[in-house]
């Protein structure tokens, strides 16, 4: 499912560098929190794109059965902020800088 009018979707500086946070609520669902609001406003994913990624060769105890990249178009209903993020299981697990 392509979105963003066929243009590339890369997050802006508003969501990079650790500025986009999230958490679970009362259940096990994960929510992204708007970096422009007070830190508690949940953003809504408007669109997504799923891509199967190439497997990475590295020594790990467990490996995914399928590697993927998931791009999300996020929107804040309070301040109308929109941006893009990506989630994958192809980066090496470890500490963030």
Give me the chain's average pLDDT, please: 85
CB 11 within 8 A of CB 85: yes
The residue behind tokens 């999300």 is: 72
Percentage of the chain lying above the pLDDT 70 cut: 90
| Per-residue confidence (pLDDT) for residue 7, from 0 to 100 | 63
Q: How many C-alpha atoms does 82 have within 13 Å on its Cβ side? A: 8
Q: Identify whether the C-beta of residue 71 lies closer than 8 Å to the C-beta of residue 85.
A: yes
The domain limits of the chain are: 15-88
DSSP 91: S
- The C-alpha atoms of residue 78 and residue 9 are separated, in whole angstroms, by 22
Which whole number is the average pLDDT over 78-96?
86
Model confidence, pTM: 0.82
**Per-residue confidence band for 91, with pLDDT thresholds at 50, 70 and 90:** confident
Length of the chain in residues, anyone? 97
pLDDT at residue 69, rounded to an integer: 87
Cα 9 to Cα 83: distance, rounded to the nearest angstrom: 8
* pLDDT tens profile 38-64: 878 999 999 998 877 777 777 777 777
Judge whether residue 96 has pLDDT over 60: yes
What is the pLDDT, as a whole number, of residue 4? Answer: 66
């Amino acid at each position: 499912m392509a979105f963003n009018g066929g243009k590339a979707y890369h997050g802006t500086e508003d969501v990079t560098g650790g500025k986009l946070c999230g958490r679970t609520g009362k259940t096990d669902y994960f929510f992204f929190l708007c970096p422009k609001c007070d830190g508690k406003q949940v953003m809504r994913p408007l669109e997504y794109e799923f891509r199967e990624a190439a497997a990475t060769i590295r020594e790990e105890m467990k490996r995914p059965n399928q590697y993927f990249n998931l791009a999300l178009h996020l929107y804040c209903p309070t301040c109308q902020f929109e941006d893009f993020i990506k989630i994958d299981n192809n980066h090496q697990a470890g500490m963030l800088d």
